[in-house]
Structure 1
Amino acid sequence: MSDVLNSERTVRNLSELKEFWKELLPALKDRTILLMSGDVGAGKTTSVQLIAELLGMRDVQSPSFAIHLRYENAEGQSLDHLDLYRLKDDDDLESSGFWDLFSQQKSLIIIEWANRLNYEFLPLNWQKIEIQFQKLSETTRKIKTQKVPGDFS
């Protein structure tokens, strides 16, 4: 089996995208940050919705205007979803409670538009995975996953 955390895959539809996440989720550690980047419409928010669905969470929306939304499933597992598209400066990030998220013992943090964030300030003891989306056609996406160097989780 290939390393799903360091891979490149083309998905042709929503069903294949869901299968991709079914394969990737078991490889994540208790404290993981998914750092998503890609153009508008490339599949970031849809992916977050699929991940939440696979974790038993419902009614996931894009937090574009709130920057941060939190979801929990019936077992108490949390997913923190951040969208940095409208981030103006570090003060916006600070006021969102972003840094407080890393005090959790177990959480999945998903950040859309992560390219607006300096990774060197993220905690070393969290698993960090870059996920780059490229829109190839109306339904087809290329997804590249890569562990962030310097990750000591």
Structure 2
Amino acid sequence: MTELYFELIDADATVAFGKKLAASLEMPCIIYLEGDLGAGKTTFSRGLIQSFNYQGNVKSPTYTLVEPYELESVNIYHFDLYRLADPEELEFMGIRDYFSGNNLCLIEWPEKGVGWLEPADILVNMQYVDDHRAIRLNANSARGEKILSALT
């Protein structure tokens, strides 16, 4: 499977990279976002969501578990599972309904939902490297392969 690696010098570069990836996406699409607290997952998501002409504030859904962005061209569901106590809670919130249609699902802390989440098309891992961030993308499906090949 394809793997891409990029270094991002600051938050603006992280937002810009989210916008760049968005231009290659095909729906439905599931993206897992991995990395330590503060590594830039929500900043990356902000760029991606804003690329679909969303003008409002993009915040981390840490306390709500999911933040919906139902836009004209796509429905985006930004999940943050960091505070999820039991993965079975995802079944009660109807998690399977989010993985269909013209939906883009961005899932932070996907390891907290093991067994209840659909597999990712793209795995995004963000980490600190010295004074900047690094982002590694891995294709995890045929759709993910196609999306990442459009980035190169």
Alignment TM-score, normalising by the size of structure 1: 0.81
Give me the identity figure in percent: 28
1:67, 1:96 within 8 Å by CA — same for their partners in 2?
A: no
Kindly provide the CA deviation profile for residues 40-77 of structure 1, in whole angstroms up to 9, marking residues without a partner as x. Answer: 0000111111211121112222111111110123x242
The amino acid across from 2:127 in the alignment is Q
2:95, 2:117 within 8 Å by CA — same for their partners in 1?
A: no
- Aligned equivalents of 2:23 and 2:116: distance in 1? 26
2:28, 2:101 within 8 Å by CA — same for their partners in 1?
A: yes
In structure 1, the residue matched to 2:9 is 12
Of 32, 35, 39 in structure 2, the residue corresponding to residue 38 of structure 1 is 35
Pair 1:55–1:137, CA change in 2 (3 A): farther
2:14, 2:43 within 8 Å by CA — same for their partners in 1?
A: no
Segments of structure 1 that go 5 or more residues without pairing to the other structure are none
- Aligned equivalents of 2:64 and 2:116: distance in 1? 24
In structure 2, the residue matched to 1:135 is 128
Q: Kindly report structure 1 stretches of 4+ aligned residues shifted beyond 6 Å.
A: none
In structure 1, the residue matched to 2:146 is none
Q: Give the superposition deviation at 1:152.
A: 5.0
Q: CA RMSD, aligned part only?
A: 2.3
In structure 1, the residue matched to 2:90 is 93
Q: How many residues align?
A: 142
The amino acid across from 1:113 in the alignment is W
Q: Per the alignment, in what secondary structure is the counterpart of residue 14 of structure 2?
A: helix
